[in-house]
Amino acid sequence: MSEQTYDPILEYRELTSVRLLSPLRAPQPGRALVLVPHNGPPRTVHYGEAIPNARYGTYRYAFVVDVTEHRLLLEIPLLSRDPSFGFQGSVGLVCRVDDAAEVVGRGIHNVAEAIKDHIKRMLRQVSRDYDIKQFHEAEHALNTAVRDFTGDSAIRLRNISVELVVNEAEIIASGAEFREGERRGRLSAMRRDDQLAMLRREGAEGVLAEIMASEGPRAVWELMASTEADERAELMAAMKAILEHGDEHREPFDLVPMERAVIGRMLEGSGAPFGGTRPGRVRGIVRTELEAGRVLDDRDAERPRGVAGAVYAESPRATASPGDRHAEPPDDEPIGGTAGGDTDAGPPPGTSDRTAERRDGGAPRVSRIRGARPSADYSREERRQ
């Protein structure tokens, strides 16, 4: 059982010169008798030893000293590398009086006070090299520093151990906080997994459903309207960039596929969840024409278009893919004239562009958008260049 401290001097009395009726008696086991004469050094008598001049002599004082072992527990605060923080050290050790005469001569009545200051200096020389977060490293270094310390000539020490302790209330509070954090983290991970599974299963519609359940239909409507407005602004900016910042080395008809793609996005409706807030009035027709590369003939144009996304018959005048640079211009493009004639002069009155082309003997048609179709003698090497 550990003690905080103890007084090693158990008894003190003043002696007379003649002690015939009260002679000095030998000390009990675990005790030492210190006799202090009028002159000269004190004399120590241990258990089992004879006392010289027990009934008379020149002894003036007699001290009974405890020489048994005691286990002490010392509380020593230690500073860390940052003086604003510190360790709370608990030092356990076993001590005993080794020289009773010196204990009497030094007047030691509190063993803990006699050894605490020296141990504190030793430990603080080590603890100041460690930060407060280096708890275990500092504890190991402190135990290494005091491992070989055995005290002084008066008091012997052994089995010295240093433990850095934390307040019990702080341990309970920090443990509860840690467990609560772990619980919140697991619940958050579970919710995140459920939401991720919902997104993979239902996509954007699932997100809108969650918003509607928590904030109502108006919030969903406003979100789709805002998304559609942002999309329109981006499409308009793209269209403006195509029209105003075309490459000077690019032919006009090279921009047609890009224009068609942007215009198709603008006409077919928003790409927002559920198709945005607008009904796609021409969405099905534009999708059929642009994606399938089809152009409506006169009979298809007269058919009703009440069903969005209906598939119409393919026109016999279908053109090549929009990405073909040298394809013949489609029939619905304005024709400016032939390659060798005046591009501003139109066909004779009452004559269509196609009729004028036939009368010219198969001369290449010139489009004000796509340019002239290359002649038959346009070599493959010239095309590569």
Tens place of pLDDT per residue across the chain (385 aa): 678 999 999 998 888 777 777 778 889 999 999 999 888 899 999 998 888 887 777 888 899 999 999 999 999 999 999 988 889 999 999 999 999 999 999 999 999 999 999 999 999 999 999 999 999 999 999 999 999 999 888 999 999 999 998 877 877 888 888 899 999 999 999 999 988 888 888 887 888 888 888 898 888 888 888 888 888 888 888 878 777 766 666 666 666 777 777 777 776 666 666 656 555 433 443 444 444 444 444 444 444 443 333 333 333 333 444 444 444 555 555 555 444 444 444 454 444 444 444 444 555 555 554 454 455 454 455 545 5
pLDDT of residue 330: 57
pLDDT of residue 249: 61
pLDDT of residue 166: 82
pLDDT of residue 140: 95
pLDDT of residue 122: 93
Is residue 98 within 8 Å of residue 111, measured between CB atoms?
no
pLDDT of residue 228: 82
Is residue 317 within 8 Å of residue 357, measured between CB atoms?
no
Phi, psi of 251 (to 5 degrees): -70, 150
pLDDT of residue 221: 85
Compute the distance between CA of residue 341 and CA of residue 363 in angstroms, rounded to an integer: 10
